[in-house]
Chains A and B, each alone.
Chain A
Amino acid sequence: MTAVRVMIVDDSVTMRAMLEQVMSADDGCHVVGIAADAETALRLMKPSWPDVMTPDVTMPGIGGLQFLRDIDGQRHPPIVVVSSTSKAGTQESAQAIEAGASACFDKADLLADARRFMRVLRKAAQSKSVPIRRGPGGHGSVAVIANAEA
């Protein structure tokens, strides 16, 4: 099985370490980049080209939602939003999906449900590098798997 190559994007050094810890514990996952903000993530994205990116919604500068909107229409890796405000059914979760995220995952479940998190990453990675084209209804062409396993 080919390892899923992931880029972590989070302004919290604690959360970056925790995400790296969860991902590194899984042989099927390889962290190829770590960014503390969306600007750095955009800069690192092209040379490292991960299979999936995991931005937080709330970040200084360009937040996660704005990050999604900024790359709307461009070719980019699938995105799984990892945030404490992205529980299933929340407005933030719906906005992230509408902005082009493949899935959302609640930070609070990261360690307790690491296996589900890894499944969500793998599933998102399967929809590799599809340009998001939002239609009038707001939904992109990428299959929405947000909270599918919640």
Chain B
Amino acid sequence: MERSLLYVSQQSLSSLNREQAIEEIVAEARSHNALRGITGALACTQDHFAQLLEGATEELDDLMDRIERDHRHVDVTIIQVTPILCRRLPGWSMAYSGPSTYVARQIVPLIGGTTRMNSMRIERLVSLLVGLASPVSAET
């Protein structure tokens, strides 16, 4: 069975080469995910990553193990896991639309205080991540 998984983590990137480091994360993710049949979307704020992933449970397990061991992520918190019949991000090994003040403004209030994230905030965050992948064509 395939599942979608939403997680949030704090990022531990230096502000000096932050954009370059995120580009490296995205490139690594695209390469890894394409091989493992995982699709997903990434959004960043100044302090956090939010990522929506879709794939087989075993592949998501392996990927989450990698992410939890990745020094660029701190306090990785899985917010939601849902069985899916069809993917919302087909064709996207990792959608990322780059730094955006608009995106940050939308996402910051949704990510803050993840320990009490209610279902409405979770759905808004998922919709936003799916929406980020929609305006442009898939890149596989």
CB of B81 within 8 A of CB of A18, answer yes
Q: Is A15 an interface residue (CB 8 A)?
A: yes
CA distance A119 to B22 in the complex (A): 45
* B80, closest chain A residue (CB): A21
Residues of B within 8 A of A (CB-CB), count: 15
CB of B60 within 8 A of CB of A14, answer yes
Q: Is A3 an interface residue (CB 8 A)?
A: no
Q: Is A17 an interface residue (CB 8 A)?
A: yes
Q: Is B83 an interface residue (CB 8 A)?
A: yes
Given that A17-B81, A21-B80, A111-B83 are known contacts, is A12 also in contact with B57, CB under 8 Å in the complex? Answer: yes
CB of B61 within 8 A of CB of A12, answer yes
Residues B83-122 near A (CB distance < 8 A): 83
CA distance A112 to B82 in the complex (A): 10
Q: How far is the CB of A83 from chain B (nearest CB, A)?
A: 12
CB of B57 within 8 A of CB of A15, answer yes
Residues of B within 8 A of A108 (CB): 1, 83
| Residue from the set B61, B64, B80, B81 with the largest chain A CB neighbour count within 10 Å | B81
CB of A13 within 8 A of CB of B1, answer no
Q: How far is the CB of B116 from chain A (nearest CB, A)?
A: 11
Interface bracket on A: 10 to 19
Q: How far is the CB of B66 from chain A (nearest CB, A)?
A: 11
CB of B3 within 8 A of CB of A14, answer yes
Residues of A within 8 A of B81 (CB): 14-15, 17-18, 21
CA distance A11 to B61 in the complex (A): 9
10 A-B pairs with the lowest CB-CB distances in the bound complex, closest first: A17-B78, A18-B81, A13-B64, A14-B60, A12-B61, A17-B81, A14-B57, A14-B61, A13-B61, A14-B81
Known A14-B3, A108-B83; further 13 A-B contacts with Cβ < 8 A: A12-B57, A12-B61, A13-B60, A13-B64, A14-B5, A14-B57, A14-B60, A15-B57, A17-B81, A18-B3, A84-B1, A108-B1, A111-B82
User: Which residues from chain B sit less than 8 Å from chain A, CB to CB?
Assistant: 1, 3, 5, 57-58, 60-61, 64-65, 68, 78, 80-83
User: Which residues from chain A sit less than 8 Å from chain B, CB to CB?
Assistant: 11-15, 17-18, 21, 84, 108, 111-112
**30 A-B pairs (CB sep. < 8 Å):** A11-B61, A12-B57, A12-B58, A12-B61, A13-B60, A13-B61, A13-B64, A13-B65, A13-B68, A13-B78, A14-B3, A14-B5, A14-B57, A14-B60, A14-B61, A14-B64, A14-B78, A14-B81, A15-B57, A15-B81, A17-B5, A17-B78, A18-B3, A21-B80, A21-B81, A108-B1, A108-B83, A111-B82, A111-B83, A112-B83
